């Protein structure tokens, strides 16, 4: 071992390399595109690089090396904004790799890597971190025992370029068969196809579905028909290193499961002013109801239960009314309220003076009013993801964005969004 190797430790069995002699970053060679290992998710495609312009890797001969010591290394020396999914690689020509040390400039454990059988290629087998200055040192040797040490550095994408995402329902949730899957991204997604390709959603029932973007930050996913009852849906997101666009890079992978329970459907008909409750397709109960007036009609179509409150306060201001308006009402506490739209539609216990309207005429601001018994039954039986179908109000269907109105969008339109 030469003096330049002092302080470096090496292991040819497994190649978990430690010990960097100095913290210097020297001008060294160019870089070469490497083949990513399985964890990079590239299936042998070239490793991802910076989302912004970075120097193209190219082979060069070290000025300090012996004439036959050629090598390539990637990322190239002094490269900035390296995508953390990029796979660091050293390739030796007319030489073998004696040792490699790749670690953060501020210390810590070295990045693990593997050496090829002929000792000519070292490939990192561990992911890089965001916003980190890395130092890359390696020693090459020829058949005559001559060695040379080289060092170079690069910097990964800064934390300001990280992009996260949150998914609903939460991992492990049990929901109704009408629950779409919603993913909200922390940054706008410009490269929608690339992001969709990194997300795999499968159901134990064998159902397949489609993505539908509500905005640049929100995407939904559902099957053509309601999810099968008592099934498991798996959401596998491999978003680490995925380029969202605008130099934003995904910073995580995650896998989650969502379960469905049995089928629960409430059919509300304005013509009969009744709610018929079907459990697993069989009629279970019927209740008289009141719906929205002509000025405040209830939307038709499928509505999905979003959240529930044993009691909550309704305010006229929440639906755009002000004191003095004809339809204004004072803040009112209601019992057994189940939200079915963002716009303020609930299934709930009708106020005492509205009980006379049940089964006879409409008095609400778009909600479904029920008797105390009916509202409690619905509250106890239905939950997030269960479905309420409203018919014959003479008004249009609930919009997709007003809660989970996904099922009111025809499949041909839902599944072929540009």
Per-residue pLDDT tens over the stretch 169-199:
999 999 999 999 999 999 999 999 999 999 9
* Closest by CA position to 335, among listed 345, 347, 349, 346: 349
Q: CB-based contacts of 418: which residues, under 8 Å, 6+ apart? A: none
Which residue from 332, 365, 366 is spatially nearest to 351, judged by alpha carbons?
Answer: 332
Q: What is the pLDDT, as a whole number, of residue 418? A: 66
Task: Give the fold, CATH level 3, of 162-260.
Answer: Immunoglobulin-like (2.60.40)
Q: Which residue stretches of the chain have pLDDT < 70?
A: 1-68, 418
- Position 251 scores a pLDDT of 95
* CA-angle at 22, arms to 21 and 27, nearest 5°: 115
Residues 6+ apart with CB under 8 A from 411: 210, 224
pLDDT of 53: 36
Partners of 254 in beta bridges? 237
Q: How many residues are given for the chain?
A: 418
Predicted local distance difference test score (pLDDT) of residue 29:
34
Domain 3-157 has CATH 3.40.50.10860: no
Q: Are 34 and 45 in contact (CB under 8 A)?
A: no
Q: Counting beta carbons within 10 angstroms of the beta carbon of residue 214, is it exposed (0 to 12), middle (13 to 18) or buried (19 or more)?
A: middle
pLDDT of residue 64: 46
Q: Which two tokens stand for residue 316?
A: 């006229």
- Tens-place pLDDT, residues 189-240: 999 999 999 999 999 999 999 999 999 999 999 999 999 999 999 999 999 9
Domain map (residue ranges) of the chain: 3-157, 162-260, 264-408
**β-strand 209-213 against 174-175: which pairing, if any?**
unpaired
Q: Which CATH class is domain 264-408?
A: mainly beta
- Intrachain domains 3-157 and 264-408 with the same fold: no
pTM to 2 decimals?
0.76
């Amino acid at each position: 071992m030469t003096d330049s190797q002092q302080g470096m430790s090496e292991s040819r069995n497994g190649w978990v390399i430690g010990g960097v002699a100095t913290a210097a970053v020297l001008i060294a060679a160019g870089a070469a595109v490497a083949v990513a290992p399985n964890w990079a998710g590239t299936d042998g495609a070239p490793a991802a690089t910076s989302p912004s312009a970075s120097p193209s890797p190219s082979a060069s001969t070290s000025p300090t090396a012996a004439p036959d010591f050629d090598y390539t290394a990637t990322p190239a020396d002094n490269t900035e904004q390296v995508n953390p999914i990029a796979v660091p690689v050293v390739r030796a020509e007319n030489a073998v790799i004696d040792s490699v040390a790749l670690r953060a400039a501020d210390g810590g454990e070295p990045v693990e890597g593997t050496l090829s059988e002929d000792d000519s290629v070292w490939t990192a087998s561990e992911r890089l971190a965001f916003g980190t200055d890395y130092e890359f040192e390696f020693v090459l040797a020829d058949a005559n025992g001559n060695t040379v040490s080289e060092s170079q550095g690069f910097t990964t994408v800064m934390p300001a370029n990280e992009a996260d995402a949150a998914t609903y329902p939460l991992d492990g949730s049990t929901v109704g068969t009408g629950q779409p899957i919603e993913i909200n991204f922390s940054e706008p997604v410009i490269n929608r196809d690339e992001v969709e390709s990194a997300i795999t959603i499968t159901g134990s029932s064998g159902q397949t579905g489609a993505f539908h973007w509500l905005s640049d930050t929100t995407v939904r996913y559902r099957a053509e028909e309601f999810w099968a009852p008592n099934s498991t849906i798996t959401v596998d997101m491999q978003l680490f290193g995925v380029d969202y666009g605008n130099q934003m890079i995904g910073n995580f992978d995650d896998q989650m499961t969502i379960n469905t329970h049995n089928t629960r459907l409430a059919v509300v008909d304005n013509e009969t002013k009744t709610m018929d409750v079907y459990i697993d397709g069989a009629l279970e109960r019927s209740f008289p109801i009141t719906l929205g007036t002509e000025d405040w009609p209830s939307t038709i179509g499928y509505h999905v239960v979003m959240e529930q409150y044993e009691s909550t306060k309704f305010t006229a201001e929440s639906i755009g009314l002000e004191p003095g308006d004809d339809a204004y009402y004072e803040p009112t506490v209601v019992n057994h309220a189940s939200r079915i739209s963002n716009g303020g539609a609930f299934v709930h216990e009708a106020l005492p003076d509205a009980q006379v309207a049940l089964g006879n005429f409409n008095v609400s601001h778009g909600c479904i009013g029920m008797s105390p018994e009916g509202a409690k039954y619905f509250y106890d039986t239905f939950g997030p993801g269960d479905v309420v179908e409203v018919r014959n109000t003479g008004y249009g269907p609930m919009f997709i964005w007003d809660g989970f109105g996904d099922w009111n969008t025809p499949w041909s339109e839902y599944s072929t969004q540009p």
